[in-house]
Amino acid sequence: MFENKSLNIGIVCYPTYGGSGVVATELGLALANKGHNIHFISYRQPERLSRQYFNNVFVHEVRPQNYPLFEFPPYELTLIGKIIEVAKFEKLDLLHVHYAIPHAFSAYNAKMMLAEMGIHMPIITTLHGTDVTLVGKDSSVAPVVKYSMQQSDYLTAVSEFLKQETYDYFNIDKDIEVIPNFVDFGKFSKKQFSHFKVSIAPNNEKVLVHVSNFRKVKRVQDVIKAFDLISREIPSKLILVGDGPERSNMEALCRELGTCDNTRFIGKLGAVEDILSIADLFLMPSETESFGLAALEAMACECPVISTDVGGFPEINIEGKTGYLTQVGDYQKMAELSIKLLKNNGLLSEFRKNAYNRSLDFALDKVLPLYEGLYWRAVEGVKVV
């Protein structure tokens, strides 16, 4: 019905290396590929946009004012101002905000001010995780988060877990649609990198990988402790991708355990898929995880996952098929299961295949129409199937 029409879509997001920032950016690029005009609004150019030029993708930076009076420059105010400017002059049809704090609140205020100017702008808020499960629960912001969610025209969550968690904690009276995160197989698929594998694992050691932003919630210490046990049984290498507040502590732990020679901290590598292509196992011991996009990307590269059994993990990682689910903090179990899998090449190949097949359920071309359908409903007030 609307196949030949394009929309002017505003996307408010964090410009981060992983998580909601990446989902927002990849979604915007996929929509741009389909002919929509995409306007990113963020405090910096989103990481994944710096690689290529797109004719119909625009970035609008939010620069909070600095004034000696402001110990904390008022980001939300500047964001509201920027949303109004972009909506008005770029004739946005809708605004999609990723991560509720403070984006949903700023979007609603902008919407109200635009209404006074006779401009209607529907708002879609996508909840990603810590905006509900961690930061959003803080009593200093919880009422504002709840209010902003209520005021959004449409609310989506990236997993059934997150939807339920939002209802349980915030007790909101609003429909939440689950639209899962997705994987772009054009980018994430197993590539032949034998030269690369040789340089990382010259003696054909097994390669274990972890990717995260090294926040406490990721429990990177469990990866390092599990690897210590695994490497005593199986010749193996550990690659840690990403960076963040816990990085120094984790390097110290490696030194303490004596595993540094077999461990590489490679920082915020852009081409994560290169590392995933040579990985035998992906470890993700998070304390909570609404979805676990990094695990899905590993599975798309035919890499099984051992994760915790919390949050949205069981919705992607199928116990005993695509990997295993362990209790939070049980790094011994994580090590035991890793050893079992890595010692049995037949089982490992079967898990690799299962992981890939499962990841197909989250292919970009399956998920993108769900967002597009929602956009048309928001704009036209009709249901598109």
The residues that touch ligand GMT, with contacts defined as CB under 6 A, are 16, 19-21, 23, 99, 128-130, 133, 158, 181, 213, 215, 217, 288-293
Please identify, using beta-carbon distances, which residue of 32 and 316 lies nearer to ligand GMT: 316
HEC assignment per residue over 161-226: HHHHHHHHHHCCCCCEEECCCCECCCCCCCCCCHHHHHHHCCCCCEEEEEECCCCHHHCHHHHHHH
- Residue whose C-alpha is closest to residue 313's, from 334, 344, 343: 334
- Residue whose C-alpha is closest to residue 316's, from 275, 365, 277, 355: 355
Q: Nearest approach, Cβ of 260 to ligand GMT (angstroms)?
A: 25
Please identify, using beta-carbon distances, which residue of 228 and 297 lies nearer to ligand GMT: 297
Contact predicate 257/225, CB 8 Å: yes
Q: Nearest approach, Cβ of 336 to ligand GMT (angstroms)?
A: 25
Q: Where are the beta strands (DSSP E) in 229-360?
A: 236-241, 263-267, 281-284, 305-308, 323-326
Please identify, using beta-carbon distances, which residue of 121 and 310 lies nearer to ligand GMT: 310
**Residue entry with tokens 């949205």:** 312
Helix 331-343 to helix 345-359 angle (10° resolution) is 110
Q: Nearest approach, Cβ of 129 to ligand GMT (angstroms)?
A: 2
Q: Nearest approach, Cβ of 77 to ligand GMT (angstroms)?
A: 23
Q: Nearest approach, Cβ of 125 to ligand GMT (angstroms)?
A: 13
Q: How far is CA 347 from the centre of its chain?
A: 29
Please identify, using beta-carbon distances, which residue of 128 and 206 lies nearer to ligand GMT: 128
Q: Nearest approach, Cβ of 161 to ligand GMT (angstroms)?
A: 9
Please identify, using beta-carbon distances, which residue of 81 and 244 lies nearer to ligand GMT: 244
Please identify, using beta-carbon distances, which residue of 183 and 201 lies nearer to ligand GMT: 183
Please identify, using beta-carbon distances, which residue of 106 and 181 lies nearer to ligand GMT: 181
Hey, what amino acid is at 359?
S
Report the residue number whose CB is nearest to ligand GMT: 19
Q: Nearest approach, Cβ of 311 to ligand GMT (angstroms)?
A: 6
